Structure 1
Amino acid sequence: MNTLGMIGGTSWHSTIEYYKLINQLASKKIGDWANPPLIIHSINIELMREQNKEKINAKYLDTSLKLQAAGAKAVVICANTPHMVYDFVQPKIDIPILHIADATGKEAQKLGLKKLGLLGNKPTMTGSFIPKFLKNNYDIETIIPEEEFVPQAHEYVSKELTQGTFSDAAKHFFIQQIELLKARGADGIILGCTELPLLIQQEDVDIPTLATTNLHAQMAVDFIFNK
């Protein structure tokens, strides 16, 4: 098995979810009596809240190099938003970063989806790191909620979901946004926050949802087993 390096901490709830999913998926191949080789480096979520891009890039590069030196054969960033560092970090290390949008794009392509609504926090929805990757590699268009709804989405993600709170109000809000994105032509929805699949299940809506955490974890396991 390939050793996988995991960068977590944003949030620790999402890191736990990644660790659990990767081990659960791996156990289907090797049995419950064994587990894959993983190296976890958990950073302080305050780094992301400072919104200092240079500082964030430097931290993720330093952490990736440490994981590489420790024997990791690939890096998985255990959240959506920190993938903003991909273009900066990937050229400077010798092992691949398994991009969350790559896992999402493969699934969307398999389902025949061409226009995806993207939900998450403000940096994920308004940043280019997911839409650009999907457009350049899969010719998939991405749309986000109307500008007036972005602050509320960010508030629910940053103040509730990443703190382990899953309220009825948040669930109602995001289901409403899914319906609005669908009305604008989305044929699928990216649940682009690690905790969103814990809030919204496929049976809650009548449009395909792409749970990035689950897809990314499967991509990680495929790498571990050289698939």
Structure 2
Amino acid sequence: MKTLGLIGGTSWHATIVYYRLINELVGKHIGTQENPPIIIHSINIKVMREQNLDKIHTTYLDVAQKLEKAGAQAIVICANTPHIAYNFVQPKINIPILHIADATGKEAAKLGLKTMGLLGNRPTMTKGFIPKILKNTYGIETLVPEEVNVARAHNFVSNELTHGVFTDKAKGFFLEEIGRLRERGAEGIILGCTELPLLIKKGDADIPLLSTTDLHAQMAVDFILG
């Protein structure tokens, strides 16, 4: 098995989910009495909350280089938003960062989905680092909520979900937004916050829900097992 480096901490709740999923999925292939070699470096979520892009870039580059030096053969960033640092970090290291948008785009293309709604926090929905890959690599268009609902979604993600708080109010809002995106032409929904699949389950809506967490974890397992 190949050694995988995980960059976690944003949030630590999400990191736990990634670690559990990767071990469970690998166990299905090699048996539950074994587990894959994984190196985890957990970052203080404060780095993301300060919204200083230069600091985000340098922090993620420093951690990626440490993981590479420690023996990681690829890196998985255990959240959607920190992929904003991908274009800065990837050219400066010698191992691949497995991008969450590629994991998502491959699944959407497999399902024949051409227009996807994207839910997450404000940077994930508005900075374009996921929609650009979906469009340029997979020909998939991305819809995001109207501005007022971008703000509400960001509030729920930042002030509740990343703190491990999952409320009926938050779930009701996101289900309503799924309905609005569907009315605008979305054929499926990207749950683009690692904590969203903990709040919204696949049976909660009658439209395909793509959990970036699950798809990214599977991508990691495919790499580990070669």
TM-score range for the pair, normalised by the shorter chain length: over 0.9
Residue 23 (str. 1) matches residue 61 (str. 2): no
Partner of 2:210: 210
User: What is the Cα deviation at residue 202 of structure 1?
Assistant: 1.1
For the residue of structure 2 that corresponds to 1:152, the secondary structure is helix
Within-5 A mapping of 1:145-164? 145-164=145-164
Paired amino acid for 2:76:
V
Residues 2-81 of structure 1 aligned to structure 2 (within 5 Å):
2-81=2-81
Amino acid at match of 1:111: L
Match of 1:136 in 2: 136
**Could you tell me how far apart the structure 2 residues matched to 1:156 and 1:50 are?**
17
| 2:30 counterpart letter in structure 1 | I
Counterpart residue identity of residue 60, structure 1: Y
Structure 1 unaligned runs (5+)?
none
Equivalent position amino acid for 1:28 in 2 = K
Matching residue of 1:192: 192
Q: Which amino acid aligns with 1:174?
A: F
Matches of 1:14 and 1:154, distance apart in 2 = 16
Map Cα deviations across residues 51-109 of structure 1 (whole Å, 9 max, x no partner): 00001000100100000000000000000000000111011110000000000000000
- Distance (Å, rounded) in 1 between the aligned partners of 2:91 and 2:70: 19
Partner SS state of residue 72, structure 2:
coil
Q: Tell me, in whole angstroms, the C-alpha distance in 2 between the residues paired with 1:114 and 1:31.
A: 37
Structure 2: distance between partners of 1:52 and 1:165? 25
Offset from partner CA, 1:124-181 (integer Å, 9 cap, x none): 0011100001111101000100111111100100111111111000000000000000
SS at match of 1:39: strand
Q: 1:30, CA displacement in angstroms?
A: 1.1
Q: TM-score, normalization: structure 1?
A: 0.99
Q: Provide the residue aligned with 1:169 in structure 2.
A: 169
Give the secondary structure class of the aligned counterpart of 1:6.
strand
Deviations 1:24-60 (A, max 9, x none): 0000011111100000000000000000000100010
Divergent runs of 4+, >3 A: none
What is the SS of the residue equivalent to 1:87?
Answer: helix
CA distance in 1, matches of 2:86, 2:129: 8
TM-score, reference length from structure 2: 0.99
CA distance in 1, matches of 2:146, 2:129: 19
Over the aligned positions, Cα root-mean-square deviation in angstroms equals 0.4
Extract unaligned runs of 5+ from structure 2: none
Query: How far apart, CA to CA, are the structure 1 residues paired with 2:169 and 2:116?
Result: 24
Give distance in 2, aligned partners of 1:120 and 1:17. Answer: 17
